[in-house]
């Protein structure tokens, strides 16, 4: 037990040494911001309770969101700030305990992305060193994938849909299959043009007592109807799908993966070299750290939350994720920041690290 | 000695049909104090305590183990708690109380025919409307599991306690997940079931609790009841 306390003490020391403000957000938080940000899939993991005013509250499921909200509430410092934390989080699970100890760091609004990411990786490695863990590192890059989407030949409307399936290989495969061989067009509504169809949909919505503005509008429905008819007439090109499939299949040793991506980019003349160069730089940084066991890259790896942006990572030991994090430059805007602000951080699962120590 | 607890739905067609199913299997169920009483007995089984309870209560009791065997809908087992289905054993489908848990959208959504269409709509929705696509339902667990299986994550559930089918027209939600036997209520509310949107085909089942602890004598009674019902189907 003394050893455990000793490690926690060393961890606290490390956390204080980051030049960061030690943050301790409330244990009981309004639940809605979590649902708004992360949706139902994360929402199901919350431990909920009701206030007398019918508002839902949850036990703190995560540190990032309350820290980011506090940062914005305090004016969202232009120069950026760093926060660290060590404490309990609560998540529902099918079995087992629901309280976990997490330690972590958040860099919010910092200008120098590369330096911030290095600091984050460095912090995670140092924290794991306290537990004698030399992790396997899994890297993913949201920015390489997003820049790939910008340079391939595909109708604009599909981009967000493809993006939303990034990090969900099964759903992504189904979508790519569908784009390659679209189904027969949906029943012909005998609507010769867009206006006629909009009128028809409007009439039906009114007859069924639906608001024309509260949910999907007649225009929106008609547009997507014609978009489907068009896809059936001209599917996405085989070449585009080939590029996407080939890219998403790349995984393995990080340096080998980089070569494969470069080869793919050259073969199809895809200008994705800027984010690739950045990825290379951070792989080099990790290679220079001696407490890293291996570095792998998986092109289809990403957290399933769409505010992640740049490089994302997991640190794995005995096939358990002990630390995870990355860049989420869309988070602060999602939470109401007036302009885009960088955010980088990571969380360490202390219970798993302690488990590995045993 | 603790009696084996057999729970049957307390009212309506479900009660009638459950008692008929037992009668057909040669076991008369008596509701001793009439329709208002919650206690009953099973002819030929002295050590069986029959309880008449709401179907949802039976599902929860079976999962907790406070009911040993009972008749209720499979949908209610799924909905009572996450992974509720793992805590019970479905012993026999009884052939009545058939209803499907389905995803239904406004019929005016002419562009949505399959779940994959709904996936596109969910992806685009937040960008266009500044909020998540809202789904009204009381089948929260089933909805989450089904949509996760289809890779749909961009939505929010609005918990509904009754009249779910009115949620799209009242503006409480954009679409619904609800149970339907004929589909006529959905149709009357301008809703249409997505072609591959049947989440669960449910019917009344004879269900055994995995959580209850039974003595040897109770095991024997339980076995007799199950065999008799199975043989009569």
pLDDT at residue A94, rounded to an integer = 74
**Token pair for residue A9?**
């003490």
Q: Which residues lie below 8 Å from residue A5, measured CB to CB, with a gap of 6+?
A: none
A172 contacts on B by Cβ (under 8 Å): 151
How far apart CA B117 and CA B138 sit, in angstroms, is 23
How far apart CA B98 and CA B204 sit, in angstroms, is 7
Element (H, E) at A141: strand A136-141
Residue A256 has pLDDT above 90, yes or no: yes
Give the mean pLDDT of B106-123: 94
pLDDT at residue A149, rounded to an integer = 96
Test the A interface: residue of B79, B105, B110 with most A CBs within 10 Å: B110
**Token pair for residue A219?**
């225009």
Give the mean pLDDT of A77-105: 89
pLDDT at residue A187, rounded to an integer = 64
Instruction: Among B82, B121, B157, select the one facing A94 at the smallest CB separation.
Output: B82
A171 contacts on B by Cβ (under 8 Å): 119, 150-152
Residue range B187-218, pLDDT digits in tens: 999 999 999 999 999 999 999 999 999 999 99
**Helical pair A350-357 and A113-130, crossing angle rounded to 10 deg:** 40
pLDDT at residue A235, rounded to an integer = 80
**Token pair for residue A216?**
């999907």
Residue A304 has pLDDT above 70, yes or no: yes
Residue range B80-102, pLDDT digits in tens: 887 889 999 999 999 999 999 99
Could you give the domains of chain B? 4-97+203-232 (3.40.190.10), 99-202 (3.40.190.10)
CB B6 within 8 A of CB B69: yes
How far apart CA B91 and CA B96 sit, in angstroms, is 15
How far apart CA A139 and CA A278 sit, in angstroms, is 13
Distances in whole angstroms, Cα of residue A327 to Cα of each of A68, A107, A274: 13, 9, 16
- In CATH terms, the superfamily for domain A2-148+247-357 is Bira Bifunctional Protein; Domain 2 (3.30.930.10)
Contact B121 A216 (CB under 8 A): yes
Q: Output the 3-class SS for chain B.
A: CCCEEEEEECCHHHHHHHHHHHHHCCCCEECCCCCCCCEEEECCEEEEEEEEECHHHHHHHHHHCCCCEEEEEHHHHHHHCCCHHHHEEEEEECCCCCEEEEEEEECCCCCCCCHHHHHHHHHHHHHHHCCCEEEEECCHHHHHHHHHHCCCCCEEEEECCCCHHHHHHHCCCCEEEEEECCCHHHHHCCEEEEEEEEEEEECEEEEEECCCCCCHHHHHHHHHHHHHHHHHC
Burial of B173 (0-12, 13-18, 19+ CB in 10 A): buried
* A178 closest CA partner among B145, B197, B224, B120: B120
| Domain extents in chain A | 2-148+247-357, 194-233
Q: Which residues of B36-63 are buried (b: 16+ CB within 10 A; e: fewer)?
A: eeeebbbeebeebbbbbbebbbbbbbbb
Instruction: Among B108, B116, B152, select the one facing A221 at the smallest CB separation.
Output: B108
pLDDT above 70 covers what percent of chain B? 100
B157 contacts on A by Cβ (under 8 Å): 40, 43
Contact B169 A164 (CB under 8 A): no
Residue A53 DSSP one-character state: T
pTM for the structure as a whole:
0.82
Residue range B155-186, pLDDT digits in tens: 999 988 889 999 999 999 999 999 999 889 99
Q: Does the interface ipTM go beyond 0.90?
A: no
Instruction: Among A175, A186, A220, select the one facing B128 at the smallest CB separation.
Output: A220
Binned at pLDDT 50, 70 and 90, residue A186 comes out as low
């Amino acid at each position: 037990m003394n050893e455990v306390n000793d490690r926690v003490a060393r961890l606290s020391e490390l956390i204080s040494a980051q030049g960061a403000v030690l943050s301790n957000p409330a244990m009981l938080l309004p639940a809605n911001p979590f649902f708004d940000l992360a949706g139902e899939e994360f929402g199901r993991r919350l431990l909920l309770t009701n206030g007398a005013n019918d508002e839902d509250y949850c036990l703190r499921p995560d540190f990032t969101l309350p820290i980011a909200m506090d940062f914005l509430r305090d004016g969202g410092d232009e120069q950026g700030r760093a926060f660290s934390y060590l404490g309990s989080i609560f998540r529902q699970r099918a079995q087992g305990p629901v309280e976990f100890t997490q330690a972590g760091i958040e860099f919010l609004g910092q200008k120098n992305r590369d330096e911030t990411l290095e600091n984050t990786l460095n912090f995670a490695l140092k924290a794991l060193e306290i537990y004698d863990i030399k992790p396997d590192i899994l890297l993913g890059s949201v920015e390489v994938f997003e820049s790939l989407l910008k340079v391939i030949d595909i109708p604009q409307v599909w981009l967000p849909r493809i993006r939303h399936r990034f990090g969900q290989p099964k759903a992504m495969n189904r979508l790519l299959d569908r784009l390659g061989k679209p189904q027969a067009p949906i029943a012909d509504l005998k609507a010769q043009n867009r206006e006629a169809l909009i009128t028809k949909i409007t009439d039906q919505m009114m007859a069924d007592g639906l608001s024309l503005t509260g949910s999907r509008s007649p225009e929106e429905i008609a547009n997507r109807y014609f978009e489907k008819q068009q896809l059936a007439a001209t599917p996405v090109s085989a070449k585009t799908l080939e590029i996407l499939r080939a890219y998403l299949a790349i995984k393995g040793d990080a340096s080998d993966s980089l070569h494969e991506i470069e080869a793919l980019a050259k073969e199809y003349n895809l200008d994705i070299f800027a984010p690739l160069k950045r990825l290379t730089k951070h792989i080099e940084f990790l290679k220079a750290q001696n407490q890293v066991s291996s570095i792998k890259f998986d092109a289809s790896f990403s957290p399933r939350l769409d505010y992640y942006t740049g490089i994302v990572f997991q640190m794995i030991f005995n096939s358990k994720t002990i630390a995870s994090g990355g860049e989420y430059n869309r988070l602060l805007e999602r939470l109401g920041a007036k302009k885009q602000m960088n955010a980088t951080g990571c969380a360490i699962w202390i219970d798993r690290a302690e488990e590995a120590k045993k | 000695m603790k009696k084996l607890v057999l729970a049957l739905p307390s009212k309506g067609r479900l009660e009638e049909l459950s008692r008929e199913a037992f009668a057909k299997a040669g076991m008369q169920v008596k509701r001793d104090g009439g329709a208002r009483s919650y206690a009953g007995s099973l002819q030929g089984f002295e050590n069986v305590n029959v309880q008449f309870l709401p179907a949802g209560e039976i599902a929860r009791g079976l999962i907790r183990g406070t009911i040993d065997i009972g008749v209720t809908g499979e949908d209610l087992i799924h909905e009572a708690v996450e992974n509720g289905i793992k805590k019970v054993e479905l012993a026999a489908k009884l052939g009545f109380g058939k209803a499907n848990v389905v995803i239904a959208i406004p019929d005016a959504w002419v562009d949505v025919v399959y779940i994959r269409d709904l996936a596109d709509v969910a992806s685009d929705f937040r960008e266009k409307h500044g909020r998540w696509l809202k789904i009204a339902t009381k089948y929260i667990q089933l909805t989450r599991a089904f949509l996760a299986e289809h890779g749909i994550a961009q939505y929010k559930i609005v918990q509904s306690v009754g009249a779910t089918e009115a949620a799209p027209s009242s503006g409480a939600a954009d679409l619904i997940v609800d149970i339907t036997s004929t589909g006529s209520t959905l149709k009357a509310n301008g809703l249409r079931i997505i072609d591959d949107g049947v989440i669960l085909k449910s019917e009344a089942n004879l269900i055994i609790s995995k959580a209850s602890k039974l003595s040897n004598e109770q095991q024997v009674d339980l076995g007799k009841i199950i065999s008799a019902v199975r043989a009569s189907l």
